[in-house]
Amino acid sequence: MTVESTAARKPRRSSKRVSAANKPQSSEPQLVQLLTPEGERVKHPEYEIDLTPDELRGLYRDMVLTRRFDAEATALQRQGELGLWASLLGQEAAQIGSGRALRDDDYVFPTYREHGVAWCRGVDPTNLLGMFRGVNHGGWDPNTNNFHLYTIVIGSQTLHATGYAMGVAKDGADSAVIAYFGDGASSQGDVAESFTFSAVYNAPVVFFCQNNQWAISEPTEKQTRVPLYQRAQGFGFPGVRVDGNDVLACLAVTRSALERARRGEGPTLIEAFTYRMGAHTTSDDPTKYRADEERQAWEAKDPILRLRTYLEKAGLADEAFFTSLDEESETLGKRVREAVRAMPDPDHLAIFENVYADGHALVDEERAQFIAYQASFAEEGN
């Protein structure tokens, strides 16, 4: 892939010492782009893509509905219905583009923010809310949609994806695996180890890093001194940086990397260069650590707006389409709201369930003690 060599053509850093804080951090990234922020369709020599009008409208619909779901969840957190929410606002193109590149038999290992990828996998969005409401720690069967549980500990899932991909290769299957992680996770040892293992075993895995510029309050330059996609080169596989706010480019690049994995050519690192428009989670306040101007600059690159501009200019969607989508969005919002409010607290004894598959004497003993303790209140005549 030609993108690997772009760094070499960049001017070398001068010999004068530059402090880390002052060092420009990849200010002019080389991005694979198929749709400009102005909604202009552009060509790329390596990643051209040809989509039908239906497919283009489908991508737009996915992004709009995912954003609506995300907004509803954020509102539900503000209303006290969820304990926490990790918003994907601004990252819809990265998630829908990569998610729609997947085949049913591919397997996804997400972080805790991949609501758009979950949507592409057919996971009911209300299933994603259980852990944020505090009724479970995941709760869905990963094998139903080949979508693994959300992982809270940063970067752990990249190793699970690699191991799973090693298993796929052992099985002689031609499916692929995709691991999502962020720019902050790129600092974790597990991510580096997953690069090592996947390269050594030629595992059919795609590493999809959503560089949303901020790891809670820490900017990317606190994580790395080289553009993240260039990390791959040192591990012996290709890295590519894609415009993460361009759904077409994300789709094309991910599709290409997945095909490469299926052909037995091993891993690829994709860095989707994007921006988290909201907070890291509802617990932090981005106004404390980043400037308004930065957010405004990224608003101009909004992934949904640019596809809408293109659809309208190219005459691929009429007013009826947008109106009908607005209605669908509101229906989704209402469904999510009602589902969360109707979500029951788990049974008290759920504490003791599924700690072990084969059972454990101590868990059995403590469960029995807890049942007896609770029963004692009834005996007292309450």
Partner 1 sequence: MAVQKLPIAKALNESLRKALETDPKVLIMGEDVGKLGGVFRVTDGLQKDFGEDRVIDTPLAESGIVGTAIGLALRGYRPVVEIQFDGFVFPAYDQIVTQLAKMHARALGKIKMPVVIRIPYGGGIGAVEHHSESPEALFAHVPGLKVVSPSNSSDAYWMLQQAIQSDDPVIFFEPKRRYWDKGEVDTEAIPGPLHKARIAQAGSDITLVAYGPMVKVCVEAAAAAAEEGKSVEVIDLRSMSPIDFDTIQTSVEKTGRLVVVHEAPVFYGSGAEIAARITERCFYQLEAPVLRVGGFHAPYPPARLEEEYLPGLDRVLDAVDRSLAY
Active site residues: 276, 280, 289
Across-strand partners of 207? 179, 269
Binding mask of the shown chain, residues 185 to 224, with x at each position contacting partner 1 by CB under 8 A = ----xx--xx-xx--x------------------------
258, 226 contact by CB (below 8 A): no
Which residues have CB under 8 Å from 238's CB, separation 6+? Answer: 1, 3, 4, 232, 268, 269
Choosing from 20, 21, 362, 378, the residue that interacts with partner 1 (CB under 8 A) is 362
Matching residue, tokens 């009602």: 338
Phi, psi at residue 172, to the nearest 5°? 75, 20
Q: Write the burial class of residue 13 (CB in 10 Å: 0-12 exposed, 13-18 middle, 19+ buried).
A: exposed
Choosing from 69, 112, 164, 208, the residue that interacts with partner 1 (CB under 8 A) is 164
In angstroms, what is the minimal distance from the CB of 210 to partner 1?
20
Q: How many angstroms separate the CA atoms of 297 and 218, rounded?
A: 19
> What is the DSSP track for 148-175?
PPP--STTHHHHHHHHHHHHHHHHT---
Q: Does 354 bind partner 1 (CB under 8 A)?
A: yes
- Tell me whether residue 100 or residue 148 sits nearer to partner 1 (CB atom): 148
Q: Does 162 bind partner 1 (CB under 8 A)?
A: yes
In angstroms, what is the minimal distance from the CB of 130 to partner 1?
9
In angstroms, what is the minimal distance from the CB of 86 to partner 1?
17
For the record, the structure tokens of 119 come out as 């949507």
367, 103 contact by CB (below 8 A): no
Q: Which has the closest alpha carbon to 194: 237, 147, 230, 143?
A: 237
Q: Write the burial class of residue 310 (CB in 10 Å: 0-12 exposed, 13-18 middle, 19+ buried).
A: buried
Instruction: Please tell me whether residue 211 adopts helix, strand or coil conformation.
Output: strand
Choosing from 10, 78, 334, 360, the residue that interacts with partner 1 (CB under 8 A) is 360
Using CA atoms in the order 190, 193, 197, 202, what is the torsion angle rounded to 10 degrees? 90
- Tell me whether residue 149 or residue 279 sits nearer to partner 1 (CB atom): 149
111, 150 contact by CB (below 8 A): yes
Q: Does 161 bind partner 1 (CB under 8 A)?
A: yes
Q: Which residues, numbered 276-295, are part of the site for partner 1 (CB under 8 A)?
A: none
Q: Does 355 bind partner 1 (CB under 8 A)?
A: yes
In angstroms, what is the minimal distance from the CB of 9 to partner 1?
32
- Tell me whether residue 130 or residue 239 sits nearer to partner 1 (CB atom): 130
Q: Write the burial class of residue 222 (CB in 10 Å: 0-12 exposed, 13-18 middle, 19+ buried).
A: middle
Size of residue set near partner 1 by CB under 8 A: 44
Q: Does 110 bind partner 1 (CB under 8 A)?
A: no
Q: Which residues, numbered 36-55, are part of the site for partner 1 (CB under 8 A)?
A: none
Q: Which of the stretches 65-73, 141-149, 262-270, 285-293 binds partner 1 when contact is defined by CB under 8 A? A: 141-149
In angstroms, what is the minimal distance from the CB of 224 to partner 1?
20
Choosing from 353, 368, 369, 371, the residue that interacts with partner 1 (CB under 8 A) is 353
Q: How many angstroms separate the CA atoms of 149 and 128, rounded?
A: 9
Q: Which of the stretches 152-160, 239-247, 308-316, 330-338 binds partner 1 when contact is defined by CB under 8 A? A: 152-160
Choosing from 1, 149, 250, 269, the residue that interacts with partner 1 (CB under 8 A) is 149
- Tell me whether residue 49 or residue 192 sits nearer to partner 1 (CB atom): 192
User: How far from chain centre, in Å, is Cα 303?
Assistant: 15
- Tell me whether residue 82 or residue 199 sits nearer to partner 1 (CB atom): 199
Q: Which of the stretches 85-93, 137-145, 264-272, 332-340 binds partner 1 when contact is defined by CB under 8 A? A: 137-145
Q: Which of the stretches 18-26, 143-151, 239-247, 323-331 binds partner 1 when contact is defined by CB under 8 A? A: 143-151
Q: Which of the stretches 70-78, 120-128, 144-152, 372-380 binds partner 1 when contact is defined by CB under 8 A? A: 144-152
57, 316 contact by CB (below 8 A): yes
Contact footprint for partner 1 (CB under 8 A): 109, 136-143, 148-149, 151, 153, 156, 158-168, 170-171, 189-190, 193-194, 196-197, 200, 353-358, 360-363
